[in-house]
Amino acid sequence: MIDGRQRKNIEIGLFVEIVQKQNQRSGALNQGKVSKILTKLVNHPYGIKVQLESGLVGRVQNIIE
């Protein structure tokens, strides 16, 4: 599985599952295509923060091939 905590693995247009801030406890995931990469760091322990084409913002949990 590709690691969603590494910025180099995330690209615009990639189909991913994210967890939004308010859903971190429940772990509820949303799916969509990446429109913006918001995290500037090379890696982040909770996942790279992205914005999906739908406008949702969250941290990448899974990258869907």
Question: 34-45 pLDDT, tens per residue?
Answer: 999 999 999 999
Residue 2: inside a domain: no
Residue 1: inside a domain: no
Q: What torsion, rounded to 10 degrees, do the Cα atoms 34, 39, 41, 45 define?
A: -90
How many domains does one find in the chain? 1
Residue 20: inside a domain: yes
State both tokens at 6.
Answer: 């590494």
Question: 13-64 pLDDT, tens per residue?
Answer: 999 999 999 999 999 999 999 999 999 999 999 999 999 999 999 999 999 9
CATH code (residue 40): 2.30.30
Residue 15: inside a domain: yes
Rounded to two decimals, the pTM is 0.92
- Give the range of the structural domain holding residue 36, as residue numbers without chain letter: 7-63
Q: Is 46 in contact with 3 (CB distance < 8 Å)?
A: no
Residue 13: inside a domain: yes
Q: Is 62 in contact with 29 (CB distance < 8 Å)?
A: yes
